[in-house]
Amino acid sequence: MSGHIVNVPQPQCAYNASKAAVIQLTKSLAVEWAKRNVRVSSISPGYIGTGLTLNAPKLIPLIEKWNEMAPMGRMGKPEELEAICVYLAGDTSSFTTGSDFVIDEAFTCF
C-alpha cells in the first residue's frame, strides 16, 4: 500500500517511492512482455503481521498506532494473501496483467 499512500506516523519517503516504482515497473513490463505471453502483476498488501514485523524493535511501538488507524483494527495475516497469489499463478488469471492488487482492509481508502 506504500506505493499508493503516505504512511504515517513513520517517516519513510524512500520506501514509499520505491513501492510506487514497483507498481509502475509492473505496468511497464506487462505491456512490454504481453506479446511473449508473460503476465506481470503486483500485490500491494497493507500491514501484515509477519514474524519480521511483529518482532522488529523499531516497529513494535508502531503496531498499536497502525491498528488504531486501520478500518478493521488489526494487521493482516500472511495467509490472507494466499488466494491472490494462487489466482495470479493459475490459468484463471490468463487475462490479468498490469494489475496492482491492493489487499489492505481499506487502509488506503482514506
Residue whose C-alpha cell reads 498499536 in the numeric block: 64
Cis bond before residue 9 (omega within 30° of 0) = yes
Cα–Cα dist 110/104, whole Å:
12
**pLDDT (0 to 100) of residue 14:** 97
Segments of the chain with pLDDT less than 70: none
CA distances from 72 to 4, 18, 50, 89 (A): 19, 26, 17, 28
Cα–Cα dist 73/30, whole Å:
34
**pLDDT (0 to 100) of residue 110:** 85
Residue whose C-alpha cell reads 490479468 in the numeric block: 96
Residue whose C-alpha cell reads 498490469 in the numeric block: 98
Active site residues: 15
